[in-house]
Structures are given as C-alpha cells and as structure tokens.
Amino acid sequence: MNPKRCAACKYLRRRCPKDCIFSPYFPPNDPQKFACIHRIYGAGNVSKMLQQLPDQTRAEAAESLCFEAKCRVDDPVYGCVGIIHLLQTQIQQTQNQLAKTQAEIAVAQTNLSQTHNSDFM
C-alpha cells in the first residue's frame, strides 16, 4: 500500500496513479471530503466533470462539488437549494428593513421642514 495515495484512491481502494485526476484536490489527510462527493455524484461522474474543465479551474470546481455534496448529505431533500432559499429570505427581510428605514427618513425630513416653516410664521 502506498501511504501517499490521495483520499479518493484510498477510498476507492485503488493504486493512486501519477496523473491521478483526484490527487491535487483530495489530499490523504482529509478522507471525509471524498466520501461525501462519492456518495452523491459517484467517482466516475466527478472524474468526468473535472476532466472536462481546464486545469486552472479544477480546484474551485472540486471545492464547489464538495460543498454541494456535503449540503446534500446534511439535507437530503433540499441540499444547498435550502441555503439559497434561506439567503433569499434574508435579502427580503433586509430589503423590508431598508424600505422601512427610508420611510422613517422621509417622515423625519417632513417634520424638519414643517419645524422650519413654523419658525417663519
């Protein structure tokens, strides 16, 4: 057994080839990272998705696939779409608070101009 096998090859119980597609993104010290991705997408699909991308974008793609896979393991019904819904609700709440605060400004400005006008009466 090669102790330097990447986490993916260790998980798949296979030899880690020199040009392993997983090795740069799944270091041996983080075995859980590949377990999630394998459970949701399957090793073959992940390998295919990474291979179709230019080298310089593969690390980011591996990270985002891991994130989505972890979300799906944590929430099998909504996955990271659940996070999108939460964020949309948060935006709506902040926008409502903003509209309320802007209305308060308009009232304060009206009060201020009425105070000024009454000074001259």
Binding site for its own copies (CB under 8 A): 40-42, 44-45, 49, 52-53, 57, 60-61, 64-65, 67-68, 72, 76-84, 87-88, 90-91, 94-95, 97-98, 101-102, 104-105, 108-109, 111-112, 115-116, 119
Give first-to-last CA distance, the chain, whole Å: 94
CA 2, chain centre distance (Å): 33
CA distance 3 to 60: 26
In three-state secondary structure terms, 71 is: helix
Q: Tokens 């799906």: give the residue.
A: 72
Query: Are 68 and 79 contacting, i.e. CB atoms less than 8 angstroms apart?
Result: yes
CB of 20 to its own copies, least distance (A): 20
Using the minimum distance from each CB to its own copies, give the nearer residue, 29 or 118.
Answer: 118
Using the minimum distance from each CB to its own copies, give the nearer residue, 4 or 24.
Answer: 24
Using the minimum distance from each CB to its own copies, give the nearer residue, 28 or 83.
Answer: 83
